[in-house]
Amino acid sequence: MVLRTLYNLCFAVALGLSAPYYFLRLVRRGDWRRDFGERFGRYGSRIKVAVTNRHVLWLHAVSVGEVNLCLQLIRALEPRVPNLKLVVSTTTTTGRGELEKRLPPHISAIYYPVDLRRCVSRALKTLHPEAVVLIEAEIWPNLLWSLRARRIPVFLVNARLSDKSYRRYRRFGFLFRPLFATFAGVSAQSEADARRLVELGCRPQAVHVVGSLKFEAARVEERPRLDTAALLRQIGVPEGAPILLGGSTHAGEEAVLAEVFQRLRPRFPDLFLVLVPRHFERGKQVGEVLAQRGLRFIYRREITAATRLPERALDALVVNTTGELKDFYREATVVFVGKSLTAAGGQNPIEPAALGRAVIFGPHMQNFAAIAEAFVREGGALQVRDAAGLEAAVAELLADPARRAQLGEAARRVVRTQAGALERTVEMIVAGIPRDENYVAPAP
């Protein structure tokens, strides 16, 4: 009880101090007023009517990346629990936008409540979930304490622990060990993740090594939402022109890519640069980086059905929208995966790999260490040390179509061999949900 009181006092102070910063981020992303009360567990009549007299399964996907995983999980899970009402929460406005665009209408999208005791209590009183599924989610103490008190099973899926997260949870083990012990089931991406999760307090029998759901989420058979080939023709990119794409880039990486592009353009006159920053609200900042270097560019949001530019009118495109990166990957010749050169952690390399693109990433792939290692080991991606290495790798791949094809086929092979995590995760969840009329036994 003392620990909870101390946590709630510290959290309230931290929330008060950081609120202006996070509020400014909400305003910059736009559409922050709609359903703002949901962030404090105040769900309106739309949600209350949807969950009344229903058995609810609550899934939480923090932002866009987790939303993509969640949608795959829902497709596989829903037929197995037909009597459960699925509700999906997210933390960000971009994540909420993706849910509303892609969820079936009978599945409700909400905002995740801030981890204040009253907010969490209000949310649980409205939803009354049978179980909760956290997808790569942060560990919020008040939610887990409240779920444990109500004897509601909670599952952590696609769990991985970066070195930074592992050190933080160990440092505050007095707080987190009892929380990790509450999980009814944990699907870990690797044996190393599983060992760390047990060290941090998870019950060994609750931890299952299933692989990464990100391999399942890279479904190339899904119909593209955007005809990127036609869009590139609209803005004057010649058919067959090589495309250098920076995906999920962070500050500093756009400048590196712009300079690489400018040095390679004389060798590859039709080369075109596409930059997709990880946070779309950085679009203006990315545009300024290009303008400072004299590059001609257009923002994705400026392109309409009426846009028609002459061939070679532009050097670059800045994609300041959300949910379109995968569609741009389809047209890329060489892909650089961001947050790996000038920032640390790395972004997901699986989607371009599943499409058979030639993938490059920098030295800092801590958040995808096992995945990155598998691609490099099997010849499905190139890892470079610095900007000079990036330029050399891009030049090599642009000049050698056979090398690009070899890299792309090896990448597809790695993705194929990692299949199965989704079904194993679903089995874990349905086995842990209370066995009543909600449960559908697996087919023999």
DSSP state of 79: G
Instruction: Please provide the DSSP assignment of 262-329 as one string.
Output: HHHTTTSTT-EEEEEESSGGGHHHHHHHHHHTT--EEEGGG--TT----TT--SEEE--SSS-HHHHH
CA distances from 217 to 71, 344, 407 (A): 8, 23, 21
Rg, Å, the chain Cα set: 23
β-sheet with 243-249: strand ranges across? 297-299, 316-318, 272-277, 243-249, 334-337, 358-361, 382-383
Do 133 and 143 contact (CB within 8 A), yes or no? no
Angle between helices 93-102 and 2-29 in degrees, nearest 10:
70
Residue whose C-alpha is closest to residue 324's, from 298, 359, 300: 300
Contacts of 47 by beta carbon, 8 Å cutoff, 6+ apart: 38, 87, 108, 110, 126, 127
Which pairs with CB-CB distance under 8 Å and at least 24 residues apart come from 375-382? 375/349, 375/411, 375/414, 378/410, 378/413, 378/414, 379/406, 379/407, 379/410, 380/353, 380/407, 380/410, 380/411, 380/412, 380/413, 380/414, 381/349, 381/353, 381/407, 381/411, 382/358, 382/407
Q: Which one from 66, 98, 254, 391 is the annotated catalytic residue?
A: 66
100 phi and psi, to 5 degrees? Answer: -70, -30
Instruction: State yes or no: is 288 an active-site residue.
Output: no
| Catalytic residue positions, numbered | 66
